[in-house]
Amino acid sequence: MPDGKEWRDLNSDDGIVDSPRETFTVKVAKLEPGEHVITLRVYDTAGNAGVGKAVIEFAAQP
């Protein structure tokens, strides 16, 4: 979820979440130059939620 916008569902890069560690790729588009926050919310099989975030800096393109 970039900058507090709506949540989107993601699939793991290999298409199935079947191991303790997985890789996900998040694509965001149309970001204005500046700082942005990407927030991820995940659930385990018991329904417990966890949230993480990354702050990114997007530079203006010449």
Q: What is the pLDDT of residues 42-55, one digit of tens each?
A: 888 899 999 999 99
Q: What is the pTM of this model?
A: 0.66
Query: In angstroms, what CA-CA distances link 39 with 3, 15, 48?
Result: 8, 21, 17
Positive or negative: CA dihedral 18, 46, 9, 27 = negative
Q: Kindly state the average pLDDT of the residues 35-46.
A: 90
- Domain positions in the chain are 1-62
Q: Kindly state the average pLDDT of the residues 12-16.
A: 94
pLDDT at 2 over 70: no
pLDDT at 18 over 60: yes
